[in-house]
Structure 1
Amino acid sequence: DPERTYTELLFASSRKYASWDPEIPVHVGDWGIITRGCRPSWFAFWAHSRPQGIFLKRGNIYDDGLANKFNIPSPKTHEHEGSSGVSWIVSQNAVEVDTSGAVSAQVPELANCGVKASYKFSSGQGAVLCMDGDTIATIDPPGALRPLLDDPTLPEGIVIVSEVHATSSYARYLGTPEVRQVSIGLRVSSPAFPQAGVDANAEWLNSSTAGNFKSKVNPDRARTYYPLFRLVALQGDNVSNGMLLPRDET
């Protein structure tokens, strides 16, 4: 199951959930339950040593009035502070290496990418997520969610989206066990026919013909993709670490 493998690999390194389909909206305050059953094609979550389950969204605490009831602050949005504007999330078996040499010879277009990176995977499958100019919306502090999560009138074991990365441009890659290195770059060029609100033509490139690669660029720069987010659930002190630990499985 490529989706499950990709999500597990990036959860292990980031403690956040990487969406297989970032075009599906995910917003801070979305809440629901983890249940067992057949997994839908786009949304699956699991914890270590726990049976696979699915997240069923039941609402949003800001739309439902729950945030106001429990005095939960509105989300804060933080702009990206990196010098390149691109965030890279990689699996734990990935090590960054030089992008020049053989890779550039294999895919000459990568040499023209203003932003690029190359990763070598030590063993097994590797995963990479790239986000250009992402913002991070968070509930701060995440511990403010504890009273709501512990409310006996709500379904037992609810989980809440407490942090969401939103971006106008992303690329995700899941390699095969045989792939030992991949380079990914973002090539930007001026449009042949400039239009109002459209900055440039942008395209994600990658050096590997094997594996699963998907990328999207929103020409108007609107942040309508949601590649990465955090879930919180009430389980002892785990309210702020994003672990999914339903109470009946402890």
Structure 2
Amino acid sequence: MPRDPERTYTELLFASSRKYASWDPEVPVRVGDWGIITRGTRPSWFAFWAHRRRHGIFLKHGNIYEDGRAAKYHISPPKTHEHQESTGMSWIASDNAVGIGMDGDVSAQTPAFANCRARASFKFSSGRGAVLCMDGDTITTIDAPGTLRLLLDDPTLPEGIVVVSEVHATSSYARYLGTSGVKQVSIGLSATAPALPDVGGVDVQAEWVNSSTAGNFKSKINRDGARTYYPLFRLVALEGDNVSNGPMLLLSKESRRNNQAGGGFWRKFR
């Protein structure tokens, strides 16, 4: 497993969700963004510019809805969907994670867990584990991602590009990457239910808590309820292009079949 924490986190959650988990969800990501992944074989024009860049990271170069390419290839505008219930809690964990019951000792050691309106515990079977939680996320998609096939084959675009075809947006998230020594973690949101759930608002006293002092834990809450964090998105590329085997889905040049999400641990709390 790569030692770089960002790449490790991204690859662990891609294996379970088939989506790109952002290390910095505050960075805006829009459906239609296109760019390149800084990993593996790269076009020669990009090699020098990216020499000191971190590998395995999506770098945006443009957006197909802003540069006219979407209109050129008759790609429909993106649509926003509620992910089951917009007031629910989404949990995504690495393949080596198993959801377990909350241990009483954990609540005793971290009293804030007693006031959590949503919480979960995970046990990691081996290696490093990763967990992402999103509160009240929505999903914006290109409903027929297969229509991107012709665009991805556009000779005016750099070889090996990827396109964002789906984005999760939320007003509150927590992400965790454990160390190899962490075998279990509990994460919760200590808060009351939003007064206006359809707006995605959060309680002013909301706080993310976790049981582990080891590993990398980060959380953010937008107090006005605006969904301005983008913890998870889907990247697509053309199969056979000069791209790395990074966190993306491949569209066959002969087929428009949509790639489906993988297995892994994905829970929704209402």
User: Normalised by the shorter chain, which TM-score bucket?
Assistant: 0.7 to 0.9
Partners of 2:123 and 2:15 lie apart in 1 by 17
Instruction: Identify the residue that residue 250 of structure 2 maps to in structure 1.
Output: 238
Instruction: Identify the residue that residue 207 of structure 1 maps to in structure 2.
Output: 211
Q: 1:84 to 1:122 in 2, by over 3 A?
A: farther
Instruction: Identify the residue that residue 8 of structure 2 maps to in structure 1.
Output: 5
Tell me which of 60, 77, 81 is aligned to 2:80: 77
TM-score of the pair, normalised by structure 1: 0.84
1:40 is displaced (CA, Å) by 3.7
Partners of 1:228 and 1:176 lie apart in 2 by 22
**How is 1:26-37 mapped onto 2 (pairs within 5 angstroms)?**
26-34=29-37, 35=42, 36=47, 37=50
Report whether the alignment pairs 1:219 with 2:223: yes
Instruction: Identify the residue that residue 158 of structure 2 maps to in structure 1.
Output: 155
CA contact (8 A) 1:114 1:186 kept: yes
Q: Secondary structure at the match of 1:24?
A: coil
Number of equivalences: 227
**How is 1:45-56 mapped onto 2 (pairs within 5 angstroms)?**
45=56, 54-56=57-59
Q: 1:190 to 1:147 in 2, by over 3 A?
A: closer
Partners of 2:80 and 2:233 lie apart in 1 by 13
1:117 is displaced (CA, Å) by 0.3
CA contact (8 A) 1:126 1:175 kept: yes
* CA deviation string 1:31-85 (max 9, x = no partner): 12344544646xx53xxxxxxxx54422100011111110000111111214961
Partners of 2:77 and 2:104 lie apart in 1 by 48
- Which blocks of at least 5 consecutive residues in structure 1 are unaligned? 46-53, 192-196, 243-250
* CA deviation string 1:184-215 (max 9, x = no partner): 00011599xxxxx8753211000111111000
1:108 is displaced (CA, Å) by 1.6
- Which blocks of at least 5 consecutive residues in structure 2 are unaligned? 195-200, 241-248, 252-257, 261-270
Runs of 4+ in 1 over 6 A off after TM superposition: none
Percentage of pairs with the same residue: 73
TM-score of the pair, normalised by structure 2: 0.78
